Chain A
Amino acid sequence: MLDRRKFLAGLAVGAAGLLVPKGKLPAFPAQKGAKPAPKPKDEKYAMAVVKGGDPTLVTRKAIDLIGGMGSFVSRGDVVLVKPNIGWDRTEEQAANTNPLVVAALVTMALEAGAKKVVVADNPCNDARRTYKRSGIEDAAKKAGAEVLFMEDRHYVKTNLNGEVLKDWLVFRGALDANKIINVPIAKHHGLGGITLMMKNLMGVTGGARNLMHQRLPESIVDLQAFFKPQLNVLDAIRILKANGPQGGSTKDVEKLDTVAASADPVRLEAWGISLFGKKIENFPAVALAEKRGLGIKDFRSSGFIEVNLG
């Protein structure tokens, strides 16, 4: 399995013929300075941005560049893949995570030996419609995931121990999972400016979560600090640049064919902001998260790689 995946990835970058079993090479030393050229496939980067290609390939390549799914998911794990399935919108309207990106992550997690992969979200519109219309329900099921609606009885009152969030209803699946893969889409948001990694975690909470808007940056950092997803992926296959977070007009959508992945959500958050041409300083959640040791905002620092498959 591993070999085939690596092989595909290898083909994609045009670095063929080097089918060395993984694990025999030492971890690649951190890269400094300018954007490094694509390296042989077994190097492990801290953050990868891959663009230009089919969402499945782009996602696979991004994960492979940061060490492969095997370095995040272990055999027998129960994995929660948490996309944004918040809105009754289609893939083209870019209000929800791209279904192929979700499906690719499900497939890879299963290939890495996960016992079960759950895909779920607590959406803003009716779950039946958002799951269907986003394309995620069908794509994730086809990839072998268990697609769950978050029903009332699935929430457990949990102390999040945050700066502003204390007792909240939390989706049991997020507590039960051994690994969480957080995979939002990058899009415009009225209050937050842009919604990216950390805000997506609101989707594993229930109750009066719209109260979080009163202290949004602190709230989403609290969520990140509590859940600490092991793998973070940001979908920028399409980004929504206005009228977010639910959009509706494809005029507001830009197709970038890009996916970024890292263990560090703050780097992805910062990179996501840069996609919109905005200043990271204007997004207080990023600095807050860095201050609390949840990641680093200088996403171009050590171990950053950008690959264009196109």
Chain B
Amino acid sequence: MMKNLRRVSQIVFFLFFVYLFIQTEYKGRNELGLPVRLFLDFDPLVALSSLLASHAVRAVFLFSLVTVALTIVLGRFFCGWVCPLGAINTAIGGLRMRRLKPGRSEGRFPRWRPVKYYVLVFVLVAAIFGWNAAGFLDPISLTIRSLAIGYNPAINKIARSALEAGIGFNIPLVSPGLDALYTKMTGTVLSFNQPIFRQSLFIGLIFTAILGLNFLAPRFWCRYLCPLGALLGLIGWKQIGARVANDKDKCISCRKCVVACQGDATPFPPGEWASRECLVCYNCREVCPASAISITAGARNTGDGNVDLERRWLLASGIGALLVVPAIATGVQRKRTDPSLIRPPGALPEQEFVRRCVKCGECMKVCLTNGLHPTFAEAGLEGLWTPILVPRLGYCEFNCNLCSQVCPTGAIRPVTVAEKQKIHIGLAFVDKNRCLPYAFKRQCIVCEEHCPTPEKAITFVEEPAIDERGAMVILKKPVVNPDLCIGCGICETKCPVIDRPAIYVTAINESRAEENQLFLKI
């Protein structure tokens, strides 16, 4: 019964997660109106790592305290009942679990159980010294990022291609129906536009590999690698609300519970139950043919099979983090800002920003124009997969502040639209060697047309010239006013010089960085 209840809970939370994921898109109102980042808000690892790295206490962390409180009572119920990655791993791991044989191939790597704690130590020590590495491995951040950047573009492409093929066959009744369906699906189940992201294959493959680990051992990630699982295991090791007891007088040593266990928590032998590994999945109680296993509140001395954490590995993890941090802090990004490091409006100053950002990808998913992409080398390893605007691919919409609405850590602080419209995220430059009127004496001025500031940041100078037909024309040549230009990048997106643009934005003059200014302040 409890096992089925747990399954229902996993399915419900997973569907809720997917629903919020799909809703992380513009739906016709400036305000999203839905707490799309809810899972991140309840994630204590996100809260703790950004707290340690940035020393900023935020009210939203209170949500994660709810998770902490429940974990103290129920152990790793979050892993077993709530976590969306846990649910996916349960489903895929189930395929492997069916083939396991008690006593022979049990699909376990018990010696790996401490690894996730070492991962956690590494991540937290790194955070203390200012490197927020938690986001790479935090399961919620990992899942949202991987789905948004890696899977969603592929899912969209497959669905769209299938529908287009169906429409293309021109079958009476069917094709028009598919056409209507296609229109209904875009912006509802499918993204409004086909999403395209840099590194989507790379990020998607990493996630696929993590899912593939289920074929080594069911829920391999959750059992052996997940730092959030480790944190919750440490918080909830008492698991006072649901302790697993194996009655040694009843136990027939069939080992079925060992194989059915989602967390490699060894409900057998009696007295060896490892509470930190237990995902409260109820499989052991359900599978036991002798009814030897009970799960009750407050039961004492039911087991202490918790693995010892070895001091040398704990030290190695901590010292490893200590060594990596200076290496990261001496990346070239600390000497010179990469010109393409255009952060979304509301982004904190760079150091503060990378300390908070957990690379969850919410901002990239929600970006109206698909202009926010994960960094690769632009921000160094400390900033890997943090968001930058790539104006060639999408611009920052003048009236939109969605990215600041979804950020779970305040790396992008909440800004109103009016506030956002005054934030400079970069500055546009005209490349006169490529710009049509400058270089080829042809009219264009598309950049000026699209420039969204009410008093245009791009204007033009008029100059008589003989054009390519030998006719006298008054050429309009674009000029950027750096006081008005907010760096939104629409000029670069729309520039008809479609490969290397004739007008482009770099991060200089960004409001958030005193040290990245172009002009003498008088």
Chain A contacts to B: CB under 8 angstroms = 88, 124-126, 128-129, 132-133, 148-149, 151, 153, 189-191, 208, 210-211, 213-216, 243, 245-249, 252
Q: Is the CB of B436 within 8 A of A126?
A: no
User: Beyond A153-B164, A216-B443, is A190–B476 a contact (Cβ under 8 Å)?
Assistant: yes
Nearest neighbor of B455 in chain A, beta-carbon distance = A243
Q: Which residues of A contact B26 (CB under 8 A)?
A: 126, 128-129
Instruction: Tell me the bound Cα distance from A126 to B452 in angstroms.
Output: 13
Q: Is the CB of A153 within 8 A of B28?
A: no
- B253 at interface by CB-CB < 8 Å: no
Q: Is the CB of B186 within 8 A of A246?
A: no
Ordered by A's residue number, 25 sampled pairs between the chains whose C-beta atoms are within 8 Å are A124-B494, A126-B368, A126-B397, A128-B26, A128-B187, A129-B368, A132-B28, A133-B399, A149-B186, A153-B164, A190-B449, A190-B476, A191-B448, A191-B476, A211-B496, A213-B443, A213-B445, A214-B443, A214-B444, A216-B443, A246-B449, A248-B452, A248-B453, A248-B454, A249-B454
Q: Is the CB of A129 within 8 A of B454?
A: no
Q: Is the CB of A124 within 8 A of B399?
A: no
Q: Which residues of B contact A191 (CB under 8 A)?
A: 443-445, 448-449, 476
Q: Is the CB of A88 within 8 A of B494?
A: no
- B183 at interface by CB-CB < 8 Å: yes
Nearest neighbor of A191 in chain B, beta-carbon distance = B445
Instruction: Tell me the bound Cα distance from A151 to B191 in angstroms.
Output: 13
Nearest neighbor of A138 in chain B, beta-carbon distance = B28
Instruction: Tell me the bound Cα distance from A148 to B450 in angstroms.
Output: 23
Instruction: Tell me the bound Cα distance from A208 to B28 in angstroms.
Output: 27
Where chain B touches its partner, the secondary structure class is loop
Q: A128-B26, A247-B454 are in contact. List 20 more A-B contacts (CB 8 A).
A: A88-B398, A124-B450, A126-B26, A128-B28, A129-B400, A133-B399, A153-B167, A153-B182, A190-B448, A191-B444, A191-B445, A210-B444, A213-B445, A213-B446, A214-B442, A214-B443, A216-B443, A243-B456, A246-B452, A249-B455
- B333 at interface by CB-CB < 8 Å: no
Nearest neighbor of B26 in chain A, beta-carbon distance = A128
Q: Which residues of B contact A243 (CB under 8 A)?
A: 454-456
Nearest neighbor of B495 in chain A, beta-carbon distance = A210
User: Beyond A247-B454, A248-B453, A249-B455, is A190–B445 a contact (Cβ under 8 Å)?
Assistant: yes
Q: How far is the CB of B384 from chain A (nearest CB, A)?
A: 29
Interface centre among B369, B400, B445, B460 (most CB of A within 10 A): B445
Q: How far is the CB of B451 from chain A (nearest CB, A)?
A: 8
- B192 at interface by CB-CB < 8 Å: yes
Q: Is the CB of B186 within 8 A of A213?
A: no
Q: Is the CB of B460 within 8 A of A190?
A: yes
Nearest neighbor of B436 in chain A, beta-carbon distance = A214
A189 in complex: contacting residue of B368, B400, B449, B455, CB < 8 Å: B449
Q: Is the CB of B455 within 8 A of A246?
A: no
Nearest neighbor of A148 in chain B, beta-carbon distance = B183
Interface string of B427-447 (1 = CB under 8 A from A): 000000000100000111110
Q: Which residues of B contact A214 (CB under 8 A)?
A: 436, 442-444
Nearest neighbor of A208 in chain B, beta-carbon distance = B496
- B59 at interface by CB-CB < 8 Å: no
Instruction: Tell me the bound Cα distance from A153 to B494 in angstroms.
Output: 21
Q: Which residues of B contact A190 (CB under 8 A)?
A: 445, 448-449, 456, 460, 476
Instruction: Tell me the bound Cα distance from A91 to B475 in angstroms.
Output: 32
Q: How far is the CB of A287 from chain B (nearest CB, A)?
A: 15
B471-522 interface with A by 8 A CB criterion: 476, 494, 496, 498
Interface string of B385-422 (1 = CB under 8 A from A): 00000000000011110000000000000000000000
Instruction: Tell me the bound Cα distance from A211 to B445 in angstroms.
Output: 10
Q: Is the CB of B449 within 8 A of A129?
A: no
Interface centre among B29, B368, B452, B453 (most CB of A within 10 A): B452
Instruction: Tell me the bound Cα distance from A124 to B384 in angstroms.
Output: 32
Instruction: Tell me the bound Cα distance from A208 to B400 in angstroms.
Output: 25
Top-9 shortest CB links A-B: A248-B454, A249-B454, A210-B446, A210-B496, A190-B448, A191-B445, A214-B442, A213-B444, A88-B399
